[in-house]
Amino acid sequence: MRKIYIGIIGVGVVGSSVIRILKQNQDLIGARAGVEFVIKKAVVRDIPKAQKLGILEADKFHTDIDSILNDKDIDVVIELIGGVEFAYEIAKKALQNNKALITANKAMLAYHRYDLARIAKELPIGFEASVGGGIPIVRTLRDCLASNHIQAIYGILNGTSNYILTQMFDHNKDFYTALLEAQNLGYAESDPTLDINGLDAGHKLLILATLAYGINALPEDILIEGISDITPDDMEFAREFGYTIKLLGIAKSDNNELELRVHPSLILKDCMISKVGGVMNGVSVIGDCAGESMYYGAGAGGNATASSVIADLIEIARDTHSSMLGFSRSFDKNLTLKSIEKIRSRYYIRLYTQDKPGVLSQITQILGDNNISIQALLQKEHTEQGMAKLFISTHTSIESDINKALQEIQSLPIVSQKPYKIRIQDL
């Protein structure tokens, strides 16, 4: 049987799972791939620590990345170290040295996917593990739905933020309590910034948008908001009006414009994607031919992500890989990225105000002056005497109008805190 030699850079949670699964399911994987995969070298920071794992022969661990990149016998480099620029240099050198590449690095791909596609030419690049862990969403968009014009993608793309929001909604916990619980359970890093500020989901959305629409956008080009400002009061409103709150990545085409945005969204509780709870991920794709299809599964974790890495290995072995991004030329030259200020949505607004006559008239006057129509309004008592909580939902408005109105409302003496908005997503 033909052998394919592998070099793994990074033997953390995912890398160690890749090694274990390749050994544990060797016969199955070999039968499906038609080759024998041989791990020749693995680069780690701490060799003694790696050797204690007992997953690989001791002499196969190295600390020098070039020992893999310059090894002429190695056919495939698996990059699992994370980061952006350093990881890009590794990926670039692997391709320049005529090696196939597999990466789970969504941050690097968010900035350099087109660069890598250009460098690779005919060399295969696998990146199924970069979005959705074990969910085969990359291959689905690139290959299975290739005949479809994709009308929209709605995705819960970050398990940490989804776990936090699930705990807040189901168990009435505040954000920081839910975050601490996620950290204690290993669902959140000690520094959870990329998860809770929406950037991790933003990286993944950009990858999916490239596969679906052929657009080359960067994280700085799109709307990305996190979940740290969501409170139990927002969850109370959601429950009362039949919604739940999820951090959604949204890609939506409208004529020749494409909306790309990541932000908390109020969605109806009976929608399919609203039922994706805990650390799970879910992606809904709407194509003009296939209609709506839903993909659900573990969005992170060693075994789930390793499963996607090995799926890429098998595809490389079969020599059935397509071009990295799934297209050889631009297929929608007229498509442009919609300005954030032009986004249209319904909105939920949370206000803390003084509880006295005339408050509502001042707020509704400002909203009306900015072309914003109120759909529903709920007032509740505040724990602080003399204060009230106001929850407002609007009809469809323009982002620039809602932002201007909230700035004016914030300047009112009757308003005690900065207003907070969440977009209401109709699915």
Q: How far apart are CA 63 and CA 72, in angstroms?
A: 18
Active site residue 52: no
| Sign of the torsion formed by the C-alpha atoms of 396, 398, 401 and 406 | positive
Q: How many residues does the chain have?
A: 427
Q: How far apart are CA 123 and CA 100, in angstroms?
A: 6
Query: Cβ(160)–Cβ(192) under 8 Å?
Result: yes
The tokens for 265 are 């969204």
- Residue 312 sits at the vertex; the CA angle it makes with 126 and 193, to the nearest 5 degrees, is 60
Query: Cβ(264)–Cβ(225) under 8 Å?
Result: yes
Q: How far apart are CA 267 and CA 45, in angstroms?
A: 44
DSSP string for 372-396: --EEEEEEEE-SSTTEEEEEEEESS
Which entry of 204, 252, 338, 389 is annotated as an active-site residue?
A: 204
What residue type is 176 in one-letter code? Y
Which residues have C-beta within 8 Å of that of residue 407, sequence separation ≥ 6?
Answer: none
With residues binned 3-state (H G I as helix, E B as strand, rest as coil), the percentages for the chain, rounded to 5, are 40, 25, 35
Among 254, 241, 228, smallest CA distance to 339 is for: 254
Q: Which helix (H) or strand (E) holds 403?
A: helix 399-410
- What is the DSSP pairing of strand 397-398 with strand 344-354? antiparallel
Catalytic residue numbers? 204
